């Protein structure tokens, strides 16, 4: 992704960090509905780190930056559909700023970039992107709802860029001769060398390890959630 993500994670045990482990299935888009001067992503991060309200989400995007408030394998309170609602318990919440003086088009582009990045990373379809209204009927994101299709088109464009980049083996420019040699090297007859088999086995092991790591993270989050519930963190 082009924009670096600034992490301002809500401390464990805060009222707005429920600590429920989550496997994200949706991405929920919000507008902050805060037109005040200075109500940018960093201001929202400060609010989330200190508020006693049961209110939280995963990312805030303005025209300069993306700030992350919670790990994406933990649920937040943003969808307005209750403690066991699908919006709160299975979706990543993203707020787009609308503070005075913001370059809103730029903020929306940045948000689309983040959404595409998450879709690709989590292997979710474009249909996983929903407005807040989908969960609770609230008129949110109020600026985007009238042109929701435009925003989805932005996401689609970014997604295509990322997928293209991911499927390209090497972005480096190579002379035609070298490209030919590379093609030969990947012929099936040559794949069955011990080194290639070893590489395949290693890749399988790495994938297994990643899977186990993700499982461990979910278990940890679940255990922590119980601890936070009983002791207050």
- Judged by the rule CB under 5 A, the positions of this chain that interact with Zn ion are 30, 132, 140
Report in angstroms how near the CB of residue 93 gets to Zn ion at its nearest: 8
Identity of the residue, 102 or 224, whose beta carbon is nearer to Zn ion in the bound complex: 102
Report in angstroms how near the CB of residue 35 gets to Zn ion at its nearest: 15
Residue in this structure with the two tokens 């940045």, named with its chain if needed: 110
DSSP 144: T
Check: CB of residue 3 under 8 Å from CB of residue 60.
no
Two tokens, residue 33: 């509905």
Distance CA 53, CA 28 (A): 20
Identity of the residue, 83 or 200, whose beta carbon is nearer to Zn ion in the bound complex: 83
Identity of the residue, 62 or 225, whose beta carbon is nearer to Zn ion in the bound complex: 62
Report in angstroms how near the CB of residue 27 gets to Zn ion at its nearest: 13
Identity of the residue, 68 or 88, whose beta carbon is nearer to Zn ion in the bound complex: 88
Report in angstroms how near the CB of residue 145 gets to Zn ion at its nearest: 10
53 SS3 class: coil
Identity of the residue, 80 or 233, whose beta carbon is nearer to Zn ion in the bound complex: 80
Report in angstroms how near the CB of residue 138 gets to Zn ion at its nearest: 6
Q: Other CB atoms closer than 10 Å to residue 91's CB: what's the count?
A: 29
Look at phi and psi of residue 82 and say left if phi exceeds 0, alpha if psi is from -120 to 50, else beta.
left
Residue in this structure with the two tokens 């082009």, named with its chain if needed: 2
**Sequence-ordered list of residues with C-beta below 8 angstroms from that of 147, at least 6 positions apart, any chain:** none
């Amino acid at each position: 992704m082009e924009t670096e993500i600034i992490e301002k994670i809500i401390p464990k045990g805060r009222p707005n960090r429920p600590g429920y482990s989550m496997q994200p299935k949706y991405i929920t888009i919000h507008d902050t509905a805060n037109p005040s001067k200075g109500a940018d992503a960093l201001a929202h991060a400060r609010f989330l780190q200190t508020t006693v309200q049961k209110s939280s989400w995963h990312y805030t995007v303005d025209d300069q930056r993306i700030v992350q408030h919670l790990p994406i394998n933990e649920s937040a309170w943003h969808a307005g559909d209750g403690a066991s609602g699908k919006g709160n318990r299975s979706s990543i919440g993203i707020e787009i700023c609308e503070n005075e003086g913001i370059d809103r088009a730029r903020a929306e582009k940045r948000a689309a970039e983040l959404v595409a990045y998450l879709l690709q990373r989590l292997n979710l379809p474009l249909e996983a992107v929903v407005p807040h209204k989908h969960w609770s009927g609230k008129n949110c994101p109020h600026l985007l709802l009238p042109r929701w299709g435009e925003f989805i088109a932005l996401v689609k464009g970014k997604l295509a860029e990322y997928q293209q980049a991911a499927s390209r083996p090497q972005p480096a420019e190579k002379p035609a001769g070298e490209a030919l040699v590379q093609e030969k090297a990947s012929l099936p007859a040559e794949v069955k060398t011990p080194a290639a088999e070893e590489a395949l086995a290693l890749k399988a092991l790495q994938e297994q390890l990643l899977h186990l790591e993700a499982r461990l993270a979910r278990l940890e989050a679940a255990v922590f959630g119980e601890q936070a519930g009983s002791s207050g963190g």
